[in-house]
Amino acid sequence: MNENLQKILDEAKTRIAAAESLEDLNDIRVQMLGKKGRITDVMKSMRELPPEERPAFGQMVNGLRQMVEETMETRKRLLAAKVREAKLAAETIDVTLPAKAAGIGHSHPNTIALDEVERIFVGMGYEVVEGPEVEKDYYNFEALNIPANHPAKDEQDTFYINPDVVLRTQTSSVQVRVMEKGQLPIRMISPGRVYRSDEVDATHSPCFHQIEGLVIDKNVTFADLKGTLALFARQLFGEDTRVKFRPHHFPFTEPSAEMDVSCFKCHGTGCRFCKGSGWIEILGCGMVHPHVLEMRGIDPEEYTGFAFGVGLERISLLKYEIDDMRLLYENDARFLKQF
């Protein structure tokens, strides 16, 4: 091999040995053996030699080409093995590493409070009933003794789907649906979503939850209402909870009342929680209005009943001392996990 070819071979070997990737190697192949490559050029230069020297020269260049190709092939196998190893290493799973903790959810304070309320009433023999959230105006208002011109029907408060259909503004509508079935006596609670066209703030939301209660039987009196709701309050807020009934007005009950519980933070001495009064308003209630019974074909001379309506959020906020209702709707797991 002449000096020139030896130089090309040495250079090729040095470059191939230095190639760090299959791409590098390919570049070298193009530069050496490609159509315009160095070795190809040398081969072409053969034309300038006298014919008798050409066979020997040709053999030499072919030898050179072969050696370069072999060197390249060896390097290629080595690099390919490295690539495979790197890939395997990258894909290797260390099964001895600790597993990622799966994010476990948590019951919402409303759910916890509702479970508690249901447990108390089911314990007293009540049935849990559900009713539709999209409700006829009739069931939400008319059948509850709320006539067409009543201020509660103002569009400001009620979401109307059409003139006859609303998003229910109170779970009291379920009272009507249960009475309509015609099975007496009745002892039921009905939890669920209600809707009012309110702006969102710390104490308001256009969608919130109520729990309705209804008892109808012979000889049901206001004393039964008081006894039942006092027991409910003691079970929910603690044995030493006292209750107080204030006269109020609801169209579907007569007489009507609001029930306060003694503040379970200060036990009635007055604190920030109860705004200094020692009492916290908790629900509305009353004896089912005779007209409401009559509209369902129940004889108010034979049957009487009481009803009540509790705001579920109000209970959650009080029970868990949460001071902003919006926290209940954001569903931030860090918040929910505290209860």
Chain residues 205-224 in contact with ligand DAH, contact rule CB under 6 A:
212
* Strand order, beta sheet including 165-167: 134-136, 165-167, 160-162
Distance CA 254, CA 249 (A): 8
**Alpha-helical regions (H) of 181-330:** 222-237, 290-295, 312-319, 327-330
Q: Which residue is nearest to ligand DAH (CB)?
A: 309
Q: Is 227 helix (H, G, I), strand (E, B) or coil?
A: helix
Closer residue to ligand DAH in complex, CB, 29/168: 168
Question: Which part of the chain contacts ligand DAH (CB under 6 A), choosing from 11-19, 129-137, 229-237, 283-291?
Answer: 283-291
Q: Are 303 and 293 in contact (CB under 8 A)?
A: yes
Chain residues 299-328 in contact with ligand DAH, contact rule CB under 6 A:
307-309
Among 155, 145, 294, 128, smallest CA distance to 212 is for 128
CB of 273 to ligand DAH, least distance (A): 22
Give buried/exposed letters for 226-256 (b at 16+ CB in 10 A, else e). bebbbebbbbbbeeebbbebeeeebbbbeeb
Closer residue to ligand DAH in complex, CB, 61/189: 189
191 binds ligand DAH (CB under 6 A): no
What type of residue sits at position 195? Y
* # of chain residues touching ligand DAH (CB under 6 A): 11
Q: Are 169 and 158 in contact (CB under 8 A)?
A: yes
CB of 193 to ligand DAH, least distance (A): 13
170 binds ligand DAH (CB under 6 A): yes
Closer residue to ligand DAH in complex, CB, 28/172: 172
172 binds ligand DAH (CB under 6 A): yes
| Of 131, 192, 251, 286, the one binding ligand DAH by CB under 6 A | 286
CB of 255 to ligand DAH, least distance (A): 10
CB of 309 to ligand DAH, least distance (A): 2
Closer residue to ligand DAH in complex, CB, 98/147: 147
**305: enclosing H helix or E strand:** strand 304-311
Q: Are 128 and 122 in contact (CB under 8 A)?
A: yes
| Of 236, 280, 285, 322, the one binding ligand DAH by CB under 6 A | 285
Residue numbers of the site for ligand DAH (CB under 6 A)? 170, 172, 212, 250, 253, 284-286, 307-309
